[in-house]
Structure 1
């Protein structure tokens, strides 16, 4: 089932519980094993998988043990990272080439003295 805004809170919690249960089973963990690894009670895992509400720190502990905590980054993106539209706006303003300093351009037009062995430089 796809989680969408039009679903009730209870339905979303039940779907999340189902997905976490599947992830746990895919890793070959029992509810008791997950509870021990996360430092929680088995009843807490049962409640979560049944679609009941749990505390946020409990969810973080479980996600960490199930190796899916890093997926939270895609759920709620980092605000300091540039957004795709900002990147598109900046694209046309990217530096294409280095400009020459007018002073150094004039100096480069001066003829160079030929180098001779024994100049000492």
Structure 2
């Protein structure tokens, strides 16, 4: 079944579970072996394969063992800086983001007199 936006959440989970079960079988692993290698419980593998909800970290561990983690690269390209950002920074990589309110008001941070220890009266 092709995954698309018309499918319900449970239908998508079931299809993903079936695909992961096929990948596990193709890798010649039992559910217990996969669970052991992924450091998750066997019940977690069962839940994934039957289309039940699991924690994202458990799914990532299972995908890593099945060598399927790189499939997420097809979701969208890795985002990089825009050409204008590169030109403005002249190759420097942005390291932090200011809050929206400080960008709008032009405030760069607290003034030296705005902070107090609390014991001044």
Q: Matches of residues 51-62 of structure 1 in structure 2 within 5 Å?
A: 51-62=51-62
Render the CA deviation track for 1:88-111: whole Å, top value 9, x for unaligned.
xxxxxxxxxxxxxxxxxxxxxxxx
Q: What's the RMSD between the two structures over aligned residues?
A: 1.6
1:52 match: secondary structure: coil
- Structure number with greater Rg is 1
User: Post-superposition shift, 1:74?
Assistant: 1.1
Could you list the runs of 5+ residues in structure 2 that have no partner in the other structure? 84-121
CA gap 1:27/1:7 in 2 versus in 1, 3 angstroms? same
User: Post-superposition shift, 1:77?
Assistant: 2.1
- Which residue in 2 is equivalent to 1:11? 11
Scaled by the length of structure 1, what TM-score is found?
A: 0.65
User: Post-superposition shift, 1:76?
Assistant: 3.1
2:78 match: secondary structure: coil
Kindly tell me the number of residue pairs found equivalent between the two proteins: 83
- Which residue in 2 is equivalent to 1:22? 22
Render the CA deviation track for 1:20-42: whole Å, top value 9, x for unaligned.
00000000000000000000110
Write the distance in 1 (CA, Å) between the matches of 2:80 and 2:64.
24
- Which residue in 1 is equivalent to 2:65? 65
- Which residue in 2 is equivalent to 1:76? 76
Write the distance in 2 (CA, Å) between the matches of 1:81 and 1:72.
20
Q: Matches of residues 39-118 of structure 1 in structure 2 within 5 Å?
A: 39-80=39-80
User: Post-superposition shift, 1:71?
Assistant: 1.4
1:53 match: secondary structure: coil
Write the distance in 1 (CA, Å) between the matches of 2:3 and 2:50.
16
